[in-house]
Amino acid sequence: MIELYSPAEIEAMRPAGRFVADTLTELSRVADVGMNLLELDELVARRIKEAGAVSCYVDYAPSFGAGPFGKVLCTSVNDAVLHGLPHDYKLKDGDLVSFDFAAEVDGWVADSALSVVVGAPADKDLRLIDTTTRALEAGIGAATVGNKIGDIGHAIATVARGDGYGVNTQFGGHGVGRTMHGDPHIPNDGRPGRGMKLKPGLVIAIEPWFLQTTDEIRYDPDGWTLRSADGSRGAHMEHTVAITEDGPIILTARN
């Protein structure tokens, strides 16, 4: 079921958005060569406890995963791009890592992701992150009242293909509100003017993710982590966005 939220309810979502945004900002600053993915997950678990928030991941067991997830943060490194299950791995110089984090605060959920390089970055990794960032911005720009879901996907895919990247539509954005994953599905490709009309009060996660030389993915044996089929690296960016008469509000905007 697709939920539409009142202006007061969207305001009530802001603390969740701020908490998720601040947590990701901290991760982007502290992640460094030699840090263990389990350390980063433990850091976020402490932040959740300190804030009186609730993890959306630890008990999450959807049909596409080998749940429950058991951790509070997704950490996808290099050729991993989505749903990376934290494990005993120390980040190396030049690693491209994507953090995906969702949490509930006062009954409201926010969901966001970012990708960074630790140590010395390769130009091709920075280019991939830049494309994914601009695709997210384009998708958010298309999330206006009267547009259609297809307009969001078309805006995202236009940026990706313009930079020479393929687009996979198996996983994409989704509705957000009282739960982490709700309707509607927001694919990262689409035809302009097609799909559900965007209405005030709709709150969605928009999340482009691209791989350097393929659009095919495979599962790790852990049943969660999704990697590129050819070993090329991936990047993932995501924001929770409220659609309003005055334009899109990025609830997980980072300072």
DSSP 223: S
Which has more pLDDT, 63 or 210?
A: 210
Q: What is the pLDDT of residue 154?
A: 98
Residue at 57 is within a domain:
yes
Domain of 81, in residue numbers: 7-250
Residue at 228 is within a domain:
yes
> Which token pair is 245?
């008469």
Residue at 52 is within a domain:
yes
Closest of 181, 175, 190 to residue 243, by C-alpha: 175
Residue at 237 is within a domain:
yes
246 band by pLDDT with thresholds 50, 70 and 90: very high
pTM metric for this prediction: 0.97
Q: Report the distance separating Cα 15 and Cα 110, nearest Å.
A: 9
Query: How many Cβ atoms from other residues are within 10 Å of residue 37's Cβ?
Result: 23
255 band by pLDDT with thresholds 50, 70 and 90: confident
The CATH number assigned to the domain holding 86 equals 3.90.230.10
Is 207 marked as a binding-site residue?
A: yes
Residue at 1 is within a domain:
no
What is the residue-averaged pLDDT of the chain? 97
Query: How many Cβ atoms from other residues are within 10 Å of residue 9's Cβ?
Result: 16
Residue at 196 is within a domain:
yes
- 217 Cβ contact partners less than 8 Å away, ≥ 6 residues apart: 81, 82, 168, 170, 211, 226, 227, 228, 229
Asked if 125 contacts 96 with a C-beta cutoff of 8 angstroms, the reply is yes
Angle between helix axes 14-30 and 37-51 (nearest 10 degrees) is 150
66 band by pLDDT with thresholds 50, 70 and 90: confident
Is 174 marked as a binding-site residue?
A: yes
**In the predicted structure, residue 232 carries a pLDDT above the cut 90:** yes
Structural domains counted in the chain: 1
Q: Report the distance separating Cα 238 and Cα 173, nearest Å.
A: 8
Is 32 marked as a binding-site residue?
A: no
Residue at 2 is within a domain:
no
Query: Rounded to 5 degrees, what angle do the CA atoms 27, 31, 35 make?
Result: 130
Q: What is the pLDDT of residue 64?
A: 87
Is 236 marked as a binding-site residue?
A: no
Residue at 125 is within a domain:
yes
Give me the mean pLDDT over the 172-178 stretch: 98
Kindly report, residue by residue over 6-45, the tens digit of the pLDDT: 999 999 999 999 999 999 999 999 999 999 999 999 999 9
- 83 Cβ contact partners less than 8 Å away, ≥ 6 residues apart: 65, 74, 76, 100, 224, 225, 226
Q: What is the pLDDT of residue 192?
A: 97
Is 239 marked as a binding-site residue?
A: no
Asked if 189 contacts 175 with a C-beta cutoff of 8 angstroms, the reply is no
